[in-house]
Structure 1
């Protein structure tokens, strides 16, 4: 499959649905309840530089171009054709997190938390935080209108409407991924008194509900909160904990390695999907029975679970040898549906987890130095 880095074709329809934060939603399920496009051809690329994961709502893509060589702006693009709607310069660089909640585009960077009007980019409020260590450490709870900002030593809660600080806790440290928010509780993985732990506390006031000791802090997988339990990775094993008590209920899947594992966990409708550096699997959420598996070198971070399709980056695949790809697989069988391939080059790589909404997949990569939109457009030769 060929691509053009200069594509500027609009998608056939305005992409609908939402991907409001790092894990698609506050529970980190990576399931946007969306239908992936039937083709993954490159439609358009942004003129604006970015290497950070965007968020999408109501036909608009919101992103940042934070980098030492750029102006540290928040930017809104039309999701169908990529035209710029507005740009607000924040004069910042480095790690930043974004969420879209309660008609606010919220950006965390350095020690700032800023809420912008999604129509104009005008600043609604700004608050000072303890800092944001990684882009994945920002999460919003739509039910309570709360934004959580995570530093290495604290979690702070702010009101979405006015930015007012609601509470702060320094009980848990060394968080490396976004907590999950579900049914009034926050589930976070880090260290409590030096001990690797899964912790549950109240979204309303930050009060402690329970703590469950772990073998090790998960290296990359964010906790996933579902009706069936809280799903985490603990010492190279995917484990389910009880939401009410924190008890360890069952083990679902073990990684075939003793080394560092970059993993992403997603869950939906009785199936848990797991990607790591060298494999992608779907297992039954109750029994751990493997439903399908794909082995390949260079599976990238991020996972999008659509209504019929699962999308993730994968390198050196059997269908695109010596290429980097973003590929879609049948959700039930694991069979390949489509792929978008590009020259691996020396520096070319996907720079943030892909984002799925109805009719489009958005991604950032160094070969386009910006945001790309994949969808149902004809293949375009270079």
Structure 2
């Protein structure tokens, strides 16, 4: 039995080793929500934590490099970045980057929904205002642009939420919007100049063209490929040029008019795990090919245990879904990424509250934060979850957990919280 458990965890974690405990991007070092050979706390206590005050509410997830935590947000009426010491929670510096645009709803939106990312030399940030900037890890601005001026105006219905990624040696941002031009744009990391821009003109109805999901990068057919989800289509783009290599439809044949997308897809084992249809549906799509791959790419589809907001954790041939809203909210489902077969399905404690934060797996443990500030951890086994622990940080949570150096960072509405 123990061997079977060890193999299950090894498969989910990909059997790979991380050389340094950094958290450079929203979904971690592999952009998958899974970090093998890393230990977080197995239990929580109010005596093992620090809290650092954040100047303004925002929804972005922190990043960590070399013992420093970087958080985007709001100071007064300006877009901002705050940096903290991971061990103590002491604020190291803060920087304001110009006028912010307030979130359309302060319940689940903000002026800083997009998470920052770092390559260890610079920090890259993106705000609803359109401001995109590169900074040193000491807070010095290297360059700053406005995306609306470099590309196309922001016309998305709610608030910008897509997080930037690195691809082809550049900074890439996806913008998908019903009322405006949808596109992917690549910026030079050194100076912010536009390297390429590719429009993504899929016809959609209602709110379906608006997407708040983030792309991921995968080597597909030997090519570094940017996999992007929104506008009822999954697309693959050449990382060096932005050229669209393939696309997959079939997600909304009726079509329903309010199927905007929030949860991002996750890639593993040559398959994209794509939540769609609000919280009701999920699909496994085989990556690769040329042109329209709709007829050949669908490996499986399922209903009743998808997610509206939360991105799956995925690695090896396993994907872990958190159903975040609706009657099944709090349901965790482990599936075979290639076949969609359920391996196990269990539920977190019932609550009226929903989830926005995506699940994270570190070593053998799961970390999940609920919207009301309840943070869960459980041991993953071959058959489900055990040793469930929880704590409340007593404020709302939208951002996803970060696990580094034996600690869990949670960005709340008012504080950055560290648990160990």
Counterparts of residues 86-165 of structure 1 (less than 5 Å): 86-88=92-94, 90=96, 94=100, 95-96=111-112, 98-105=116-123, 113=133, 115-116=135-136, 118=137, 121=138, 123-125=139-141, 127-130=143-146, 151=147, 153-154=148-149
User: Does residue 352 of structure 1 match 2:344?
Assistant: no
Bigger relative contact order, structure 1 or 2, given CA contacts below 8 A and separation 6+?
Answer: 1
CA distance in 2 between counterparts of 1:180 and 1:17 reads 19
Aligned length: 311
1:248 shift after superposition: 3.0
Offset at residue 56 of structure 1 (A) = 0.9
- Pick closer, same or farther for the CA change 1:275–1:371 going to 2, 3 Å: farther
- Show CA shifts across 1:292-312 (max 9, x none): 87727x864455557888586
User: Where does residue 241 of structure 1 map in the other structure?
Assistant: 236
Q: CA 1:214–1:282 in structure 2 vs 1: closer, same or farther (change >3 Å)?
A: closer
Distance 2:183 2:144 in 1: 27
User: 1:71-124, CA deviations, whole angstroms, 9 ceiling, x for partnerless residues?
Assistant: 96622122xx443162336497753563333433455666684634x4xx4x43
Distance 1:303 1:33 in 2: 13
> Hey, what does 2:6 align to over in structure 1?
none
Q: What do residues 20-42 of structure 1 show as CA deviations (whole Å, max 9, x unaligned)? A: 234547xx944564446373636
Partners of 2:70 and 2:415 lie apart in 1 by 13
Match for residue 24 of structure 2 among 13, 20, 23: 20
The aligned residue for residue 299 of structure 2 is: 289
Larger helix share, 1 or 2: 2
1:213 to 197, 201, 205: 201
- Residues 198 and 21 from structure 1, CA distance in 2 versus in 1: closer, same or farther, beyond 3 angstroms? same
Uncovered stretches (5+) of structure 1, i.e. residues with no partner: 1-14, 131-150, 155-168, 376-382
* Cα deviation code 1:206-265 (max 9, x no counterpart): 35475443234342112223212432223345x133527414343486699642442222
* Aligned-pair Cα RMSD in Å: 4.9
Corresponding residue number in structure 1 for 2:167: 182
Whole-angstrom CA distance in 1 between matches of 2:69 and 2:83: 8
Cα distance change, pair 184–98 in 1 and its aligned pair in 2 (3 A): closer
* Structure 2 residues not aligned, in runs of 5+: 1-18, 101-110, 288-296, 331-346, 354-367, 370-375
Structure 2 residue aligned with 1:138:
none
- TM (normalized to structure 2)? 0.55
TM-score, scaled to structure 1: 0.59
Q: Matched residues in 1 for 2:303 and 2:184: separation?
A: 31
More strand by share: 1
Distance across 2 between alignment mates of 1:235 and 1:304: 23
